[in-house]
Amino acid sequence: MGAGLAGLSVAVHLACRRVDQRVVLLDARERYDGDRTWCQLAVRPHPFEACVTKRWSQIEVHAPQEVGGACARRRLDVRRTPYVHLDAERVYARARDELARAGMTLELGVHVEAVRPRRDHVVVQTSKGVLRARAVLDSRPRPSNQAAGDTPSAGTSPALAQHFRGFFVRSEAPLFDPDVATLMDFRVDQRVALAAGGLRFVYVLPFDAHHALVEDTYFTPEVFPLGDEALAPFAAQARLTVEREERGVIPMTTARPDDEPRHRRIGLAGGVAKPSTGYAFDFIQRHAEVIADAVARGRPIPSYQRMSWLDEVFLGVLRARPEAAPMLFGRLFARAPAGSLVRFLTETATPLDAARVMAALPPPPFLAESARAVARRLRLPA
């Protein structure tokens, strides 16, 4: 249910394993287009490698080392795990080819309206009729991952929404360094974000010297409309044309969805996005792989498993001390060893990496939040 990235990825992984089951994908959308950009640090192979259209060997942040301090640039060489861009149209086309080859059914323009689990099957009510399935994977977005029925990882887990408005711009003069992706630039007005209890930064993805995606990004408890102020510093240097836009909201939470093996939530709805950063592409692939393995072996379909403790602490600090957030990211990039940082971001961290990441961060807020996370797990009063 939902044939976006997560639904299609599971189908592709099932197709790769030649699973002998009838697979039907339902999606409310009428068509596929280049509706989003997917970027990630490339740490693992996946079935969409051929859809990578650009690789950056360097990433950078502009962030302070102290609360309220001046922003400094920190650049990391990620040649061994480059930051890559995948073209959505290619991802969708590749998935649809694979589905067709495997004889799977993809029905577009079908709204799933209700899901009713029975003892040994699931009844799915759609805008075009009723289906019965042995199991369903549900990626329909939900109003909030903290909605009633969700089980926080323990107690009340901290949650933020990452919401953004991105502009694909063309500059008449050469303006961008095509070798460096700017993941976070905190040299922007934080007042609106702070008043909303969160933080703000600009993300810049240069495709070449004249073209880039400039994305105004907020991590706040609530979502609100965004303007185009993020373009001002670029427009001050060169004549810009906005060719198109993208927008999105990604839940940042460690809450677990209310699901079970026969009705498993996947993708953003399944809480697969990394709680402290909102990245999801790679984790969706990993979950898809695990699900396909389980189906191929006739085992119950598992939820996505992550070591969420460090994310929970990080998210808790962002939520409790948003004014300190730019400094936290600044220190993370400046002080954590590059390898440990990349492994933390890509969920391949060892306990030693986790310790090194923690050591890069200022102790007081992190120790306090760690204590709160432990209290939540033990269900003690905070």
Ligand X SMILES: Cc1cc2nc3c(=O)[nH]c(=O)nc-3n(C[C@H](O)[C@H](O)[C@H](O)COP(=O)(O)OP(=O)(O)OC[C@H]3O[C@@H](n4cnc5c(N)ncnc54)[C@H](O)[C@@H]3O)c2cc1C
Q: How many CB atoms lie within 10 A of CB 160?
A: 24
Shortest distance (Å) from residue 164 CB to ligand X: 7
The reply to whether 2 sits near ligand X by the rule CB under 6 A is: yes
Query: CB–CB of 76/57 below 8 Å?
Result: no
**Which one, 230 or 361, has the nearer CB to ligand X?**
230
Query: CB–CB of 268/144 below 8 Å?
Result: no
**Which one, 248 or 337, has the nearer CB to ligand X?**
248
Q: Which stretch binds ligand X (CB under 6 A): 129-137, 233-241, 263-271, 290-298?
A: 263-271
The reply to whether 182 sits near ligand X by the rule CB under 6 A is: no
If phi > 0 it is left, if psi is from -120 to 50 it is alpha, else beta; for residue 109 that is: left
Closest CA to 325 of 146, 169, 132, 188: 188
The reply to whether 345 sits near ligand X by the rule CB under 6 A is: no
Report strand pairing: 136-138 vs 263-265: parallel
Q: Which stretch binds ligand X (CB under 6 A): 137-145, 228-236, 298-306, 360-368?
A: 137-145
CA dist., res. 103 & res. 22, Å (int): 9
- Tell me which H or E stretch contains 137: strand 136-138
The reply to whether 84 sits near ligand X by the rule CB under 6 A is: no
Query: CB–CB of 272/6 below 8 Å?
Result: yes
Residue nearest ligand X, CB atom distance: 4
Report strand pairing: 199-206 vs 180-185: antiparallel
The reply to whether 220 sits near ligand X by the rule CB under 6 A is: no
CA dist., res. 135 & res. 285, Å (int): 19
The reply to whether 271 sits near ligand X by the rule CB under 6 A is: no
The reply to whether 4 sits near ligand X by the rule CB under 6 A is: yes
**Which one, 28 or 358, has the nearer CB to ligand X?**
28
CA dist., res. 87 & res. 16, Å (int): 21
Shortest distance (Å) from residue 195 CB to ligand X: 25
CA dihedral of 86, 90, 93, 99, whole degrees rounded to 10: -30
Shortest distance (Å) from residue 346 CB to ligand X: 10
The reply to whether 340 sits near ligand X by the rule CB under 6 A is: no
The reply to whether 279 sits near ligand X by the rule CB under 6 A is: yes
What character string, x for contact with ligand X (CB under 6 A) and - otherwise, covers 227-246? -------------------x
Query: Which residue in the set 37, 145, 157, 182 belongs to the binding site for ligand X (CB under 6 A)?
Result: 37
- Give the total of residues touching ligand X (CB under 6 A): 31
Query: Which residue in the set 281, 314, 329, 344 belongs to the binding site for ligand X (CB under 6 A)?
Result: 281
The reply to whether 39 sits near ligand X by the rule CB under 6 A is: yes
Query: CB–CB of 310/354 below 8 Å?
Result: yes
The reply to whether 314 sits near ligand X by the rule CB under 6 A is: no
Angle at the Cα of 50 from the Cα atoms of 49 and 56, rounded to 5 degrees: 65
Could you tell me which residues are beta bridge partners of residue 61? Answer: 74, 184
Q: Which stretch binds ligand X (CB under 6 A): 14-22, 266-274, 303-311, 348-356?
A: 266-274
Among residue numbers 106 through 135, which ones bind ligand X (CB under 6 A)? 111-112
Q: Which stretch binds ligand X (CB under 6 A): 41-49, 185-193, 267-275, 361-369?
A: 267-275
Q: How many CB atoms lie within 10 A of CB 125?
A: 13
The reply to whether 219 sits near ligand X by the rule CB under 6 A is: no
CA dist., res. 289 & res. 46, Å (int): 9
The reply to whether 315 sits near ligand X by the rule CB under 6 A is: no
Query: CB–CB of 174/201 below 8 Å?
Result: no
**Which one, 218 or 279, has the nearer CB to ligand X?**
279
Q: Strand order of the sheet with strand 37-41?
A: 37-41, 83-87, 52-56
Among residue numbers 5 through 34, which ones bind ligand X (CB under 6 A)? 5-7, 26-29
Q: What is the largest CA-CA distance in the chain?
A: 64
Shortest distance (Å) from residue 145 CB to ligand X: 11
**Which one, 108 or 367, has the nearer CB to ligand X?**
108
Query: CB–CB of 285/94 below 8 Å?
Result: no
The reply to whether 289 sits near ligand X by the rule CB under 6 A is: no
Residues that bind ligand X (CB under 6 A): 1-7, 26-29, 36-40, 111-112, 139-141, 246, 248, 250, 267-269, 279-281, 284
